[in-house]
Amino acid sequence: MFYIDSGSVKTVKTLMEAYAFKGVTTNPSLMAKERRTDYLHHVKELLDVIHQAPLFIQLNGETTERMVNEAYYIAKYSDISRIIFKVPATKAGFHAMKILKNRFTLAATGVVSLAQALMAYEAGAKYVIIYVNRMLSNGLNPYGLIESLGDLKTFKDYDYLLIGASFKSEEEIVKSLKHGLDGVTIPPRLAERFFLNPVTEKSVKAFQKDFSDRYQVPSFKDES
């Protein structure tokens, strides 16, 4: 259900070890932010630290031909069984999906309308990635879109997975999940605030103190 939205190998490694994230999503901006010069090596390092989990990477070509060529180039040098290609919901992107669908697992990204989502599905996308905050910033209703696409899955047997992205707050994540997403991709700056709560931390510290005071040890360990 939960994915890390980052291109940082160090950050991804730390969060994957601490939490039960399902995989990692990236985009061209997140990858470029790391200031690496070897893109394929960067991809390999991300694959290495997430072990058997999937990695979503976005095709960046401006034309259909460039997207298709990029996909095959990356596949030639990477573990393609664990890579899901994010393809933008544009005219060139829909065309690329039709060409690539029988060879790769695809995710339509940048989706902000019902029509885009359905065309992406018809073109071969297994995942539909909805830009929640960007929709809100442009006066659009992401929650209504999520509900509509969820209804189609339920009543029309549409076989896609709905992933929410572009989050700026925990409230947006929670509300999106309540409206029916299959998963969300969370930026690292929100991850710890989202999963941790001071009420829980305070309760656990009280339990630990009571235990230590009574048994004079912080915890038990097997010394056999």
Residue 22's pLDDT is what? 96
Average pLDDT over residues 183-192: 93
Residue 224's pLDDT is what? 63
Which pLDDT tens digit goes with each residue over 40-79? 999 999 999 998 999 999 999 999 999 999 999 999 998 8
- Smallest Cα–Cα separation from 126: which of 104, 143, 142, 147? 104
CA 223 centroid distance within chain = 42
Residue 222's pLDDT is what? 65
Name the active-site residue from 22, 33, 86, 101: 86
Assess contact for 5 and 186: CB atoms under 8 A: yes
Taking 80 as the threshold, does the pLDDT of residue 6 lie above it?
A: yes
Q: Confidence class of residue 217 from pLDDT cuts 50, 70 and 90?
A: confident
List the chain domain ranges. Answer: 2-215
Residue 220's pLDDT is what? 79
Domain 2-215 has CATH 3.40.1190.20: no
- Smallest Cα–Cα separation from 55: which of 32, 78, 88, 37? 78
Residue 25's pLDDT is what? 97
For residue 8, report the phi and psi dihedrals to the nearest 5 degrees.
-85, 115
Taking 90 as the threshold, does the pLDDT of residue 185 lie above it?
A: yes
Taking 80 as the threshold, does the pLDDT of residue 221 lie above it?
A: no
Q: Is 86 a catalytic residue?
A: yes
153 against 46, higher pLDDT: 46
Q: At what angle do helices 91-100 and 114-123 cross, to 10 degrees?
A: 30
- Smallest Cα–Cα separation from 111: which of 61, 146, 74? 146
When computed from its CA atoms, the radius of gyration of the chain, rounded to whole angstroms, is 20
Calpha distance 158→201 (Å, rounded): 42
Calpha distance 117→215 (Å, rounded): 59
Calpha distance 27→7 (Å, rounded): 8
Q: What is the mean pLDDT of the chain?
A: 93
